[in-house]
């Protein structure tokens, strides 16, 4: 089979790496890919948002299966476009992607189907929102309705912060039209967990549990990022809790989608807060998490392509996933300045040394292979010794390691991190701290 993976982050590198192990696969393309991905796939210079360009490429190359990493093309209707032309593609259609594309849609959906989530109110008028905030008092969480590159959620500890967030979103329009409406919701306390499941619209096949680390600094300090590291499994999600999440969140979501005639195939990702009143949904995503995917896929023994095909074809009941009984952690190495303005173009050292360590994987996110002015010139094939990599994004690489325990996985992964450096590199030193304590 010929596979096309869409996206350019660490999640997509992990997907390409896992797909490359499938016995069904002959050739992998990635659009647009990154420096590391170009070792395993042929990178093509088409942006993830360029649905027409991707469709054209898939038709010309006779791609057998397209796998969508990021949310933007899903929300833009790439699955509808491909399916209309009988091209196989993994992910939900535009209607289902609303669960991630609109916080207002997601909250109203949860309210309608009694799915536990923080109490909330929806506003399209800033003055009404401010009046409500003044009456309610802090802490509160303010969420721009639409996609905002992971920056649309503000956890406000004071009334002033909450009002400032409303002004930025609705009056200064920092997220553009994504801020025409917003959600003001109660602040939940507890541990977070990422629950990813595959669904063909009827059947549910859970992936291993995981936990992300959103804040940039150790001890969960500093601003939110796309995610600074992850580990799997998340011990807090034991069988009993998973059953509760399945019956109170996952199953009602699947039947709610069916009830609204939304056919949903792909990954459903519930970000949950485990409160003392039980698990509650913080957000839904309709794709693999990043960095969670880097910590989940190395634990999977089963063939991912076979599983994705079963998802698309409505045959998930035939698949039973096999997992390694090991823990996996992923530490993200980020560029100086990230998550604000960051530097690019720094040479990355130590990758070859790092690649020698067993059961460790260096997934690339924001990297380029040096010498290539664009990714199209970096053709497939193994990286040669003389290959050099430079930084090209905020999250640069995700160093990932397996171990028999979380402790072992943590120790091994940080040994590999210590071999890698580039100017300005920073990373969290406490990934998996909750599981270790």
Stretch that binds ligand GLY, among 198-206, 287-295, 323-331, 349-357 (CB under 6 A): 287-295
- Binds ligand GLY (CB under 6 A): choice among 227, 233, 394, 403: 227
Of residues 213 and 419, the one with the C-beta less far from ligand GLY: 213
Nearest to 79 by CA among 71, 91, 70, 67: 91
Strands 153-156 and 140-144: antiparallel
CA distance 39 to 32: 13
Cα of 104 vs its chain's centroid, Å = 20
Task: For residue 80, state whether it binds ligand AMP (rule: CB under 6 A).
Answer: no
CA torsion 229-235-240-242 (nearest 10°) is 20
290 binds, among ligand GLY, ligand AMP, none (CB under 5 to 8 A by kind): ligand GLY
- Could you count the other beta carbons within 10 Å of the beta carbon of residue 104? 21
Per-residue mark of binding to ligand AMP, 280-319 (x: CB under 6 A): --xx------------------------------------
Of residues 193 and 390, the one with the C-beta less far from ligand AMP: 193
Stretch that binds ligand GLY, among 157-165, 284-292, 303-311, 415-423 (CB under 6 A): 284-292
CA distance 167 to 172: 6
Peptide bond into 32 cis (omega under 30): yes
Cβ atoms 252, 270 nearer than 8 A:
no
The values of phi and psi at residue 385, to 5°, are: -55, -35
Write down the least CB distance from residue 364 to ligand GLY, Å.
Answer: 17
Of residues 193 and 368, the one with the C-beta less far from ligand GLY: 193
Cβ atoms 216, 222 nearer than 8 A:
yes
12 binds, among ligand AMP, ligand GLY, none (CB under 5 to 8 A by kind): none
Task: For residue 192, state whether it binds ligand GLY (rule: CB under 6 A).
Answer: no
Of residues 224 and 380, the one with the C-beta less far from ligand GLY: 224
Stretch that binds ligand AMP, among 182-190, 233-241, 381-389, 422-430 (CB under 6 A): 182-190
Residue 234 sits at the vertex; the CA angle it makes with 233 and 239, to the nearest 5 degrees, is 85
* Residue 28 burial (10 A CB sphere; 0-12, 13-18, 19+): buried
Cβ atoms 230, 291 nearer than 8 A:
yes
The values of phi and psi at residue 314, to 5°, are: 70, 30
State the number of binding residues for ligand AMP (CB under 6 A). Answer: 12
Cβ atoms 326, 429 nearer than 8 A:
no
Q: Which of residues 228-287 bind ligand AMP (CB under 6 A)?
A: 271, 282-283
- Binds ligand AMP (CB under 6 A): choice among 118, 262, 399, 435: 118
292 binds, among ligand AMP, ligand GLY, none (CB under 5 to 8 A by kind): ligand GLY
Task: For residue 70, state whether it binds ligand GLY (rule: CB under 6 A).
Answer: no
Task: For residue 339, state whether it binds ligand GLY (rule: CB under 6 A).
Answer: no
Stretch that binds ligand GLY, among 47-55, 167-175, 232-240, 286-294 (CB under 6 A): 286-294
Cβ atoms 245, 195 nearer than 8 A:
yes
Stretch that binds ligand GLY, among 124-132, 243-251, 285-293, 362-370 (CB under 6 A): 285-293
Q: Under the rule (CB under 6 A), what is the footprint of ligand AMP?
A: 118, 141, 153, 155, 185, 187-188, 192, 214, 271, 282-283
Q: Under the rule (CB under 6 A), what is the footprint of ligand GLY?
A: 212, 227, 285, 289-290, 292
């Amino acid at each position: 089979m010929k596979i096309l993976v869409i996206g350019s982050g660490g999640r997509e590198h992990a997907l390409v790496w896992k797909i490359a192990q499938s016995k069904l696969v002959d050739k992998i393309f990635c659009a647009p890919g990154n420096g590391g991905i170009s070792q395993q796939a042929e990178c093509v210079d088409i942006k993830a948002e360029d649905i027409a360009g991707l469709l054209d490429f898939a038709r010309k190359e006779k791609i057998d299966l397209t796998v969508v990493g990021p949310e933007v093309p899903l929300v833009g209707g790439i699955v509808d476009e491909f399916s209309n032309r009988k091209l196989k593609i993994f992910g939900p259609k535009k209607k289902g992607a609303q669960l991630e594309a609109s916080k207002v849609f997601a909250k109203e959906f949860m309210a309608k189907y009694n799915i536990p989530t923080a109490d909330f109110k929806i506003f399209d008028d800033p003055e009404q929102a401010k009046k409500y905030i003044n009456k309610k008092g802090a802490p509160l969480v303010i969420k721009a309705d639409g996609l905002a590159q992971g920056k649309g959620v503000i956890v406000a500890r004071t009334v002033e912060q909450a009002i400032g967030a409303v002004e930025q979103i609705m009056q200064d329009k920092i997220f553009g039209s994504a801020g025409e409406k917003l959600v003001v919701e109660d602040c939940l306390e507890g541990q977070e967990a990422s629950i990813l499941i595959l669904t063909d619209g009827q059947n549910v096949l859970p992936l291993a549990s995981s936990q992300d680390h959103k804040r940039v600094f150790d001890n969960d300090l500093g601003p939110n990022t796309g995610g600074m590291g992850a580990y799997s499994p998340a011990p807090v999600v034991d069988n009993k809790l998973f059953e509760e999440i399945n019956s109170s969140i996952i199953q009602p979501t699947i039947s709610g989608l069916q009830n609204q005639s939304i056919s949903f195939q792909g990954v459903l990702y519930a970000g949950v807060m485990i409160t003392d009143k039980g698990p509650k949904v913080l957000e839904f995503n309709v794709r693999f998490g990043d960095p969670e995917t880097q910590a989940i896929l190395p634990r999977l023994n089963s063939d991912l392509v076979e599983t994705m095909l079963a998802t698309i074809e409505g045959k998930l009941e035939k698949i039973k996933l096999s997992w390694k009984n090991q823990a996996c952690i992923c530490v993200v190495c980020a560029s100086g300045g990230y998550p604000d303005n960051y530097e690019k173009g720094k040479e990355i050292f130590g990758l070859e040394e790092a690649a020698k360590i067993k059961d460790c994987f260096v997934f690339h996110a924001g990297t380029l292979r040096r010498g290539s002015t664009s990714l199209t010139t970096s053709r497939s094939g193994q990286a040669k010794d003389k290959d050099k990599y430079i930084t090209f994004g905020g999250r640069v690489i995700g160093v990932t390691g397996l171990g028999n325990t979380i402790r072992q996985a943590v120790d091994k992964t940080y040994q590999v991190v210590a071999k890698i450096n580039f100017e300005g590199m920073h990373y969290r030193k406490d990934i998996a701290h909750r599981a270790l304590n």
